Amino acid sequence: MAKTYEQAGVNIAASDEFVRRIKDDKIRSTSSKAVLADSCAFVAVFGWKFKSNKEPVLVSSVDGVGRKLKVAFLMKNMMPSGKI
């Protein structure tokens, strides 16, 4: 089993370069006043107005499947891995 991203075929330098190239014109072009924080690796922070909440904030996270599968294997239960 691969022990590093590189051994698994992942080129982190190429990934970083891709993000650098698209960050300004592609990612930032979708921004609005509701975006509360600059884009970063795993989270987005978005605020909006609701009558029922004073200062609601949506925080979304993106993570690969690897960590979820590792937890599922450790739990010996693959059923929830698509729902974690």
Give the domain extent around 55: 31-82
Residue 63 falls within a domain, yes or no?
yes
pTM, rounded to two decimals: 0.43
Residue 17 falls within a domain, yes or no?
no
The tally of domains found in the chain comes to 1
Residue 3 falls within a domain, yes or no?
no
Residue 8 falls within a domain, yes or no?
no
**Residue 15: its H or E element:** helix 12-22
DSSP state of 2: -
3-state SS string for 17-75 = HHHHHHHHHHHHHHCCCCECCCCCCCEEEEECCECCECCCEEEEECCCHHHHHHHHHHH
pLDDT at residue 80, as a whole number: 62
Structure confidence by residue, pLDDT tens digits, 16-42: 898 888 877 777 777 777 777 765 656
Structure confidence by residue, pLDDT tens digits, 28-78: 777 777 777 765 656 677 787 777 777 788 777 766 677 777 777 888 877
Residue 12 falls within a domain, yes or no?
no
